[in-house]
Amino acid sequence: MLVIRPIRSTDYEALYQIAQESGHGFTSLPVNEELLRSKIARVEESFTKQVDTPFDEGYLMVLEDTETGEVVGTCGIEAAVGMVDAFYHYRLGTEVYHSEQIDVRNEVETLTLCHDYTGAAELCTLFLRSSYRKNNNGRMLSRSRFLFLAQHAKRFGETVIAEMRGESDEEGNSPFYGWLQEHFLGIDFVRADYLSGLSQKAFMAEMMPKNAVYVCLLPKEAQKVIGEVHTNTRPALNLLQAEGFRCRGYVDIFDAGPTVECHLNDIRSVRESRLLTVTIGDTPSDATSHIVSNTELENYRATAVNLAVTDDSDDVILDAQTAAALMVKDGGQIRVLPM
């Protein structure tokens, strides 16, 4: 059985391996022992912390194969970004130039550095090992976060965002970043991305262009990738768009990949998830696939299972093995979402 649970200190080696496998552009998991151990410690504290207003908490979970004990994936949610470290984006805008004298009107697209998403929750750190990318495992891992958001909404910002990886080649070179490197930052994309993941972002404020950038002055190859996603990220974007996420004109400052957003309560899976009361027993023959979680925080568990859910009942039968995996007793509650 595959079970999602909060990460713990004993998962460090598995997390380090995932950080290595995830490759360029996965800034939330730099290959750095000190940072990864610090991240795990922060997550453990977040899951036990009393929260009245979201601040800088992070909730990183792992997908465990209970038959082997192997950690095969991760998914995470940041409670409120930019509260401690600056959280930069480019905001796409338009400047209009018009002269009646010469009868010319031009609209020029601009990129302006901003902190507009400060305080928003962020979906992040979604990774599944290649051998497990089947049987809707990735879909379950990604969408399980919406059950957690629905159950613990007060712990998160009202707007939820997700940064989509932008275009880059196999060596991690970004067409958009090439222009930044040449004229402003002077370091390569991989190093800048790595420093960002380490939360060492002072160089951004010091070296990034302070004024609006005119898109038309960028190289053509850089212009073409603004707002475009990496091929490997397209499925994740499609899933989020189905949940109601949309790009509102914000892109990443390094690779120009789009950032999508949705109000927490407007996310489709948050709205459609239901709390049901458990009766432990044999699974009915008419059961269909659902994503299921308990209602706990520190002992949060989620998985996929076949359930017979009806619109006219708030009760559901859950088999004993799944109930044990979810740490749910007879008469307890679970949150469910159709797969």
288-308, pLDDT tens digit by residue? 999 999 999 999 999 999 998
pLDDT of residue 78: 96
Nearest to 223 by CA among 183, 179, 266, 188: 179
Kindly list the domain boundaries of the chain, sorted by start residue.
Answer: 2-89+115-269, 273-338
Nearest to 296 by CA among 143, 152, 158: 152
Band of pLDDT at residue 35, cut at 50, 70 and 90:
confident
Q: pTM for the full model?
A: 0.89
The residues near 176 (Cβ < 8 Å, ≥ 6 apart) are 166, 167, 218, 222, 225, 226, 254, 255, 256
Determine how β-strand 274-280 pairs with β-strand 315-318: parallel
pLDDT of residue 55: 93
- pLDDT of 138 above 70: yes
- pLDDT of 258 above 90: yes
- pLDDT of 136 above 80: yes
pLDDT in tens, 73-96: 999 999 999 998 888 899 999 989
Band of pLDDT at residue 29, cut at 50, 70 and 90:
confident
pLDDT of residue 194: 67
| 273-338 has the same fold as 2-89+115-269 | no
- pLDDT of 15 above 80: yes
User: How far apart are alpha carbons 47 and 42 in whole angstroms?
Assistant: 9
115 tagged catalytic:
no
Catalytic residue among 24, 89, 152, 230: 230
Which CATH class for the 2-89+115-269 domain? Answer: alpha beta
Nearest to 19 by CA among 4, 7, 3: 7
- pLDDT of 24 above 60: no
Question: What is the mean pLDDT of the segment spanning 158-170?
Answer: 88
181 torsion bin: left (phi>0), alpha (psi -120 to 50), beta (else):
alpha
- Which CATH number is associated with domain 273-338? 2.40.40.20
Tokens encoding 52 = 């009245």
pLDDT of residue 202: 63
